A = this chain, B = another copy of it.
Amino acid sequence: MNSIEKKCKIKGVRLTDQRRVIAEIMSNATDHPDVDELHKRVNKIDKKISIATVYRTVKLFEESGIVEKHDFKGGKARYEQSPDEHHDHLIDINSGKIIEFVDKDIEILQNKVAQKLGYKLVDHKLELYGSKIKK
C-alpha cells in the first residue's frame, strides 16, 4: 500500500479503485504534476478514469492535508504529496524545472515579520524564480 493510501486510512478518506490509482501515481511522483499530467499517468493504468475524478480527488486530498497545491506561474495548479518537512520552491524560468529547498532562517524571519505586524503566521508562500548560472 502506498503512502497516500495509508494517509487516507488514517484520515478516514474513503478509498475507491480510482482514488487508489491516483494515490499510487502521486505517491511515486518526484515532480509537481498538474491535473492534466496526472490524468495522463493515471490513464496508463486505468483508461476509464475521467479527468473530473482526478480534479475531485486531488481537491479531496488537498482538503484532507494529504497533498499540497501550488499555483506557480503558468495558469494550471500543480500538486505534490504533502512533505514531512516543509519546503519552498525555486523555479528555473528557462526550463521550468522546480527545485525544492529549506531555509530555516527565512522561516524565522517570516514569523518575526508577521508578529511585528500583529499577526500569527498561518501559512506562507515563497517562490523564487531564477536562471541558471553557467560556470
Residues of A within 8 A of B (CB): 71, 73, 90, 92-93, 99, 101, 103, 105-106, 109-110, 113-115, 117-133
> How distant is A86 from chain B, measured CB to nearest CB, in Å?
14
CB contact under 8 A between A103 and B113, given known A120-B130, A121-B130, A130-B119: yes
A119 touches B101 (CB 8 A): no
B101 touches A117 (CB 8 A): yes
Q: In chain B, what residue has the closest Cβ to A101?
A: B113
> How distant is A101 from chain B, measured CB to nearest CB, in Å?
6
A133 touches B120 (CB 8 A): yes
**Top 7 A-B pairs, shortest CB-CB distance:** A119-B130, A123-B129, A125-B127, A114-B130, A124-B128, A106-B109, A121-B130
Residues of B within 8 A of A105 (CB): 109
> How distant is A66 from chain B, measured CB to nearest CB, in Å?
19
Bound: A128/B122 CA distance, A: 8
Q: In chain B, what residue has the closest Cβ to A118?
A: B133
B129 touches A127 (CB 8 A): no
A113 touches B90 (CB 8 A): yes
